[in-house]
Structure formats: C-alpha cells, structure tokens
Amino acid sequence: MLKSLPSIFLVLSFKIYSPINTLPFNEKYDYKEALSLSLLFYEAQRSGPLPPDNRIPWRGDSALHDTGQNGEDLSGGYYDASDFVKFGFTMTFSTTLLAWGLLSYKDAYKYAGQYKYGLEAVKWATDYFVKCHPSAYEFYGQVGDFSTDHRFWGRPEDLNMSRPAYKIDKDHPGSDLAGEAAAALAASSLVFRETNKTYADIILKHAEELFDFATTYRGLYNDVIPGAKKFYEVSGYGDEITWAAIWLYKATRKLKYLEQAEQYYTEFRLKERPNEFFYNKKVAGLQLLLALETKRPEYNNAILNFCNFTIYDQKRTPKGLIYIDKFGTLSHAANVAFVCLQASEIEEYGSNFVNFAREQIDYVLGSAGRSFVVGYGKNYPRKPHHSASSCPDRPLPCGWDNYHSKDPNPQILYGAVVSGPDENDYYEDSREEFLYNEVTLDYNAGFQGVVAGLIYFDNKDNSNTIEKKTSPSHDDLKLLNA
C-alpha cells in the first residue's frame, strides 16, 4: 500500500505527531459526560409533541400545527439553532453524522449508558423526514420563515406566527437536499437494522426514492426554497448525490450504488483534496467511505492526504485549534477530527489521527483554559445565543429584554457546543455575539461522534468495558419497537 503513495505524502505520513496545545495534553476529560450532555442538547431542540419522558424540564410541546402545502402533518423534527425554523438541509446532514457515529462507536454509546438516547436522537429526525416525503418526488425542506422568526425572541411554546412550509418537487428540484436526505435515511436504516427491522426497511425505502429523485431531477434546493441561499447556501450537488450513493451501498449492498458513487466521484471532479468537512462540503467524508468500502489505494491516499494536510498544514490558533472558518470554528475542527478518527483504522500510523482528534476535542472541553460546551466543566458558556434557554420559567414573560440581558441564561442548555473563538483564541461569552455563542444542530453532530470515538479508542482493548459482541441484546431488541 505504501508503495502507491506519492513521495511527498510519504514524508507527511511519518511525521511524529505531537500536540501543539500549550496546556497539559494528558489532562483527562470526561468524554462520557460530554456524550451524555450532547444528547441533552438535541432534546432541547425538539419540535412538536414531546414524549412523556422528556428530560428538559423547561421545554414543552410546540409548533404542533406545522403543516405542508396540502395539509400534511409536519410536526416534529428539530429547531435549527437559537431560532425555530426547521431547516431540512442541515437537519439531514446532522442526522447522517449522528447515525455514522452510532454505527462506528455503538459499543462506546453502550458503555457510556447513552445508546438508547442516541437511537432516540436519530429517530426523532427520521420520523420527521418520513413526514416530509409524502410522495416519491416531493420533500419538504423548510418549515418556518427565517425573517419572520427572527422578529420573535422567546419560547417555542409561545410561537404565534405563520409557519409556511417549502418543498422541492420534480418541477422545482433540489438534488442536494434530496441527496442529503437519502444519505441520512440510509445511514439511519443501518442504525435500526438490528433493533427495529421493520422501521429500518421503511426509512430505507424512502432513502432509495429520494436518491432517485435527486439523480433524476437535477437542481439546487436554494434556488427553490426562499431564504435558504442566505443562510445555508450550497455550492453544488455533486458531493451530496455521491454521498447518498455510497451510504445506500452500505445500507443495501447493491453494487449499482457503489458504481454510481464512483461514477459521480469522477464526473463531479471530487478527487481534489478538500480543506474542510461540513454540510456544504462533504468530499472528505465520501472519500473516507469509498476508502473503507473499496480498500482501493486511490481513495485511501485521498483521505490520508486530507488528514495529513489537516494535522500538519491547516491553519491553527496559537493554542492549537484547527481554524477553518469563524462561523462554527469548533464545529469545523470537530468535523475534520471525526473524519480523521475514522480514517485512523486505515493505516498502522493511525494513532496520530487519534491523538489529533483527542487534542481538538480536549480544546473544546477545556484544555485552552475554558470549556466551550454549555454545562461541562467549571468555566463554560453562560450566555449562549439561544432564545428558549434565555427565558425564565413560565409563566414569567420572555422577550427582547431577555436577549439584551447581561445575566446568564436562566435555563442551562446542557451539551450545546458554541461557535467558538476566533483565530487568536479570543472568545466572548455574550448572548448578542452570535459569532462566538451561536449554537446549531450541526455544531454538535461531528463533536458527538468524536467524543464517542474517543471513548471507544480509550476502551477497545479492555473487554470488561467495551462490548465485543455484534449481536443485539434482549434490551436492544425491545428498543423503539413500540
């Protein structure tokens, strides 16, 4: 394998990796607690009727009357960020990453006592995606109007505004959105395959229909859905339909999907090394999946080249955080760490990649001098840019005075990863400074996967802590069958 690598890559591959962080790297952080808290964040973002075992005491039922253009029930799903719009594109991408983490590190979720909650987090999204797909060539990609929503600051339970629903269809296609939805449902079908086969079959059928939609009727979703271009613009759909194809191959083992993935990989010129991995740039993730599924040197070299560039040549803050973009600084770092953590199993020198992922997550958890996860550690963000958690307990009113308040949020938004510091490690814990303190669904998704992965790697050689069996337990089989 190594003979096939270009000479410049060989030099990079065998560098001795050492953490750049100026603070003690071997300080221990409680990844199990971080995983548990991250799942609580997703529960705080739930829309629709909440279950009887709701664990967020300051949240209640909300947006119960979300409906489609023909009266379809679109209740459920997740609110995107501090606001109450349900953006399908980022919700589907977040779900794909959550499902991927559960698939790769299931035993870590079990060891941490979070497997049940992980399944529930994914299913809360997939149940909603099924509602959003009322026919083969329709998919609702947004509920709520961003401009109207942002004139309101308060609780989702108090929403009293119009919430229009926007969809793609064969006359108004969105290959990127349909492709990402197909990927999310395909990945999730693998998650539920052992515990709820009937449900896995249902969502896989939707995934295959959505992939057909994405490839048959081509177009960009943000040319169809108003507001999407301003907030979650996409630069093309090639990576989404390739991403969907490889996930469908993993879920079905139908060779046609692998052939399509490789065809699109060439057709859309996805061979070049990416610099990032997030909802708008999935090339690193699909390169990794192609490498894992085919074992071909072309894909192996591509993903290893990406990880070596990320570790040794990507821009960093003075304290060692990978710096890609100020919007979601920590999320970008966690996402590339997630990819490289998965890639660590391709090569013997993959321990470098594990150490890199640990360094980035430890920065998020406190190695730079403070925690960036709400509720974790002693010095965590007290004023995240998040409407619902800024409100006092009901029946006290909530409005723009709460937004401008200098006091900590009355409710602790446990587990939320804030956007993070700037390129100089400067951070401001202010509700009004969304560049530092915004929280979103996708900010937590890659982070959660890496945390689970670090639990796995810390315990995989200890048979007493990480379960080696692949067959489901009796309790597993009962999960989610209700």
pLDDT tens-digit map of 60-103 = 999 999 999 999 999 999 999 999 999 999 999 999 999 999 99
The domain in which residue 420 lies consists of 2-474
In single-letter form, the type of residue at position 303 comes to I
pLDDT digits (tens, 9 = 90+) for 7-50: 333 333 334 455 544 334 445 899 999 999 999 999 999 999 99
**Does the pLDDT at position 157 exceed 80?**
yes
pTM to 2 decimal places: 0.92
Percentage above 70 pLDDT, the chain: 90
Reported in sequence order, the residue ranges of 67-192 that DSSP labels E, i.e. its strands, are 86-87, 138-143, 165-169
235/112: higher pLDDT = 112
What's the confidence (pLDDT) of residue 405? 97
Residues 6+ apart with CB under 8 A from 442: 90, 93, 94, 97, 278, 279, 328, 331
The CATH number linked to 330 is 1.50.10.10
Q: How many helices (H) and strands (E) does the chain have?
A: 19, 3
| Region 256-285 average pLDDT | 97
Q: Residue 472: is the preceding peptide bond cis (ω within 30°)?
A: no
Is residue 103 in some structural domain? yes
Residues 6+ apart with CB under 8 A from 188: 95, 99, 122, 123, 125, 126, 200, 203
What does the alpha-carbon distance between residue 110 and residue 35 come to, in Å, rounded to a whole number?
11
**Does the pLDDT at position 478 exceed 90?**
no
| Region 270-285 average pLDDT | 96
**Does the pLDDT at position 291 exceed 70?**
yes
Is residue 174 in some structural domain? yes
Closest by CA position to 208, among listed 140, 266, 254 = 254
Q: Identify the band that residue 358 occupies on the pLDDT scale cut at 50, 70 and 90.
A: very high
Active site residues: 429, 438
* Total domain count, the chain: 1
What's the confidence (pLDDT) of residue 13? 39
Is residue 442 in some structural domain? yes
What's the confidence (pLDDT) of residue 25? 40
What's the confidence (pLDDT) of residue 296? 95
pLDDT digits (tens, 9 = 90+) for 365-387: 999 999 999 999 989 999 999 99
Is residue 146 in some structural domain? yes
Q: Mean pLDDT, the chain, as a whole number?
A: 91
Is residue 482 in some structural domain? no
What does the alpha-carbon distance between residue 282 and residue 473 come to, in Å, rounded to a whole number?
34
In single-letter form, the type of residue at position 29 comes to Y
Q: CB atoms < 10 A from the CB of 450, how many?
A: 29
What does the alpha-carbon distance between residue 462 and residue 391 come to, in Å, rounded to a whole number?
45
pLDDT digits (tens, 9 = 90+) for 402-447: 999 999 999 999 999 999 999 999 999 999 999 999 999 999 999 9
Is residue 481 in some structural domain? no
Percentage above 90 pLDDT, the chain: 85
| Region 388-396 average pLDDT | 97
Q: Poorest-confidence range of 142-156, 430-444, 465-479? A: 465-479
What's the confidence (pLDDT) of residue 346? 87
**Does the pLDDT at position 3 exceed 80?**
no
Whole-number Cα distances in Å, 218 to 173, 177, 262: 6, 11, 18
**Does the pLDDT at position 482 exceed 50?**
no
Is residue 128 in some structural domain? yes
Is residue 258 in some structural domain? yes
**Does the pLDDT at position 4 exceed 90?**
no
Residues recorded for the chain? 482
| Region 211-235 average pLDDT | 89
In single-letter form, the type of residue at position 182 comes to A
Q: Identify the band that residue 471 occupies on the pLDDT scale cut at 50, 70 and 90.
A: very low
Closest by CA position to 164, among listed 181, 148, 177, 152 = 148
What's the confidence (pLDDT) of residue 27? 56
What's the confidence (pLDDT) of residue 466? 58
